[in-house]
Chains A and B, each alone.
Chain A
Amino acid sequence: MQYLLLIYDQESQWGKLNEAEQGKMMHEYGELTKSIQQSGHYLASSQLHPVAKATTVRVRDGKKLVTDGPFAETKEQLGGFYLIEAKDLDDAVAIAARIPSARLGSIEIRPLVVRERVAA
């Protein structure tokens, strides 16, 4: 099964870490990515720019509305993701627990909807 691991934490907390702590965290992320690439779980991942760089688009009555900022103001912000292939939820939980930000924020695990391909 495929799972999207959404990494939520407080952007302000990252700023409070000193350079050495930030470096250590980035290193841990690198190690994790390498490890789940080797175990065959890894499909894709990325860090996201902070919500200050977010843009939200809506189309209402055919009219495009573009606004600054995220879809919703929340205490924790989406800061990155991993897309993984896992045997089952327990397998996905085990990987989510190894994401460094799980210690500061939280990881939301969302299974991907699988649609059977309709033969043409």
Chain B
Amino acid sequence: MNIEQIYREESGRILATLIRLLGDLDLAEDAVQEAFAAALAAWPKTGAPANPRAWLVSAGRNKAVDLLRRRALLESKRDELARLNALAEQVADVPEETMLKDDRLRLIFTCCHPALPREAQVPLTLRTLCGLSTEEIAHAFLVPVPTMAQRLVRAKQKIRDAGIPYRVPADEELPDRVETVLLVVYLVFNEGYNASAGDALVRRELCGEAIRLGRLVHGLMPGEPEAQALLALMLLHDSRRDARTTESGEIVLLEEQDRSRWHRDQIAEGLELVENALGRGARGPYALQAAIAALHAQAKSVQETDWHQIAALYELLWQVQPSPVVELNRAVAVAMANGLSEGLLLLDALQERGELRGYYLLPAARGDLLRRMERWEQSGEAYREALALVSNEAERKFLQRRLAEVQGKI
């Protein structure tokens, strides 16, 4: 393994451990950078050590001691000297695997602390646990680099000044806090999956990062079936990545996708995870969405899809997460299961309530049902409505194609 690979895979763990040892995120980040710089200088001559991670942790710790010593000398600060002495007394032995696990778990809960703004939780998690650079994160979230850098700095300042702890929350707080962690992972995934603008390829890497995080969270909290369900959900969605767009980047709908291009290994893993999670009683939003994704993944075609069960699952999902977007999806499933006109009635009712005004997928879904019902003029009208609202270029192209298609029938 070269140093770059080690950085990618280990920097999150090393950072987490150094934060525990040093009690300071900024100092730990500097120490990680210095440790890798030392490795770049030393390893080509000496060869990589047998246990690179232990080497880097101990190098980082020594670098931090140097940094603190320099600061202490410059400013003759008593508390820095006290920290220094405490550090020097720590035994420099190789940390146990379980300890490393705990370090990262603590760090996740810190990065996803509810006292941090959402717009900081997500990048901070990617920065510290996935080792993404500020530039990469800024690029992925379509934010200027200085803006993202400032967000990260502010978040770290709040962690320090408000006393946000590096600690796994107490049992009674755990359910709420786990929910935030899972939401952050899910947001990273969606950011990549629904890349609504910008360099889609770069942004799709976020799906990979989210799955990596999902594996980590599931591995760290094996007792949380919702964490397992979230991993399943992401794997099942991501398994369709190659079939979802044409080579020129145009959207291919589920019913037109070449299912032989779905990643079967990922589907198999996702199915096993979701079955296990459901078996352990998971009934939250991730478990239900994963169950829906599992039914799609198992179907040979749209016609052979179990739409009745999908509609029933959306009904359950609506009960735990009563949002108009869930209702929209349920209406489409009902249309496929019980007949187009029944689904259309639900969509019309949703439109009348006006909660999804400005959301292009509602007129797009109406346009699609009306198209299937061969009500060409009304369908065209709905597609025009959708086109007025859509912002994503690939989706605009798709809607234009559909509009041209129904107009040709009039």
Q: Is B255 an interface residue (CB 8 A)?
A: no
Q: Is A87 an interface residue (CB 8 A)?
A: yes
Report A-chain residues with C-beta under 8 Å of the C-beta of B247. none
Interface hit among B24-32, B90-98, B165-173, B382-390: B165-173
Q: A89 to B79, Cβ gap below 8 A?
A: no
Q: How far is the CA of A108 from the CA of B164 in the complex (A)?
A: 15
Q: Is A73 an interface residue (CB 8 A)?
A: no
Q: Say which residue of A89, A111, A113, A116 sits within 8 Å of B165 (CB atoms).
A: A89
Task: Using C-beta atoms within 8 Å of the partner chain, give the interface range for chain A.
Answer: 10 to 19
Report B-chain residues with C-beta under 8 Å of the C-beta of A87. 163, 165
Q: Is B115 an interface residue (CB 8 A)?
A: yes
Q: A90 to B162, Cβ gap below 8 A?
A: no
Q: Mark B166-204, 1 if CB is under 8 A from A, else 0.
A: 010110010000000000000000000000000000000
Q: Is A51 an interface residue (CB 8 A)?
A: no
Q: B79 to A90, Cβ gap below 8 A?
A: no
Chain B interface mostly: loop
Chain B nearest CB: distance from A118 CB in Å?
A: 11
Q: B167 to A88, Cβ gap below 8 A?
A: yes
Q: How far is the CA of A113 from the CA of B162 in the complex (A)?
A: 9
Q: How far is the CA of A109 from the CA of B169 in the complex (A)?
A: 18
Chain B nearest CB: distance from A107 CB in Å?
A: 13
Q: How far is the CA of A90 from the CA of B167 in the complex (A)?
A: 9
Q: A90 to B77, Cβ gap below 8 A?
A: no
Q: B77 to A1, Cβ gap below 8 A?
A: no
Chain A nearest CB: distance from B84 CB in Å?
A: 16
Q: Is B352 an interface residue (CB 8 A)?
A: no
Chain B nearest CB: distance from A106 CB in Å?
A: 14
Q: Is B89 an interface residue (CB 8 A)?
A: no
Which residue on chain B has the smallest CB distance to residue A93?
Answer: B115
Report A-chain residues with C-beta under 8 Å of the C-beta of B165. 87-91
Chain B nearest CB: distance from A91 CB in Å?
A: 8
Q: B77 to A89, Cβ gap below 8 A?
A: no
Q: Mark B290-320, 1 if CB is under 8 A from A, else 0.
A: 0000000000000000000000000000000
Report B-chain residues with C-beta under 8 Å of the C-beta of A111. 161-163
Which residue on chain B has the smallest CB distance to residue A1?
Answer: B163
Q: How far is the CA of A113 from the CA of B164 in the complex (A)?
A: 15
Q: How far is the CA of A3 from the CA of B163 in the complex (A)?
A: 10
Q: Is A25 an interface residue (CB 8 A)?
A: no
Report A-chain residues with C-beta under 8 Å of the C-beta of B169. 90
Which residue on chain B has the smallest CB distance to residue A3?
Answer: B163
Q: B163 to A88, Cβ gap below 8 A?
A: yes
Q: How far is the CA of A111 from the CA of B162 in the complex (A)?
A: 5
Q: Is A99 an interface residue (CB 8 A)?
A: no
Q: A89 to B173, Cβ gap below 8 A?
A: no
Report B-chain residues with C-beta under 8 Å of the C-beta of A3. 163
Q: Given contacts A3-B163, A111-B162, could you give 8 more A-B pairs where the C-beta distance is less than 8 Å?
A: A87-B163, A89-B113, A89-B162, A90-B169, A92-B163, A111-B161, A111-B163, A116-B77
Q: Could you give 22 example pairs across A and B, Cβ below 8 Å?
A: A1-B163, A86-B163, A87-B163, A87-B165, A88-B163, A89-B113, A89-B115, A89-B162, A89-B163, A89-B165, A90-B167, A90-B169, A90-B170, A91-B165, A92-B163, A93-B115, A94-B173, A111-B162, A111-B163, A113-B161, A116-B77, A116-B79
**Which 7 residue pairs are nearest across A and B when measured between Cβ atoms?**
A88-B165, A88-B163, A1-B163, A89-B163, A89-B164, A111-B162, A89-B162
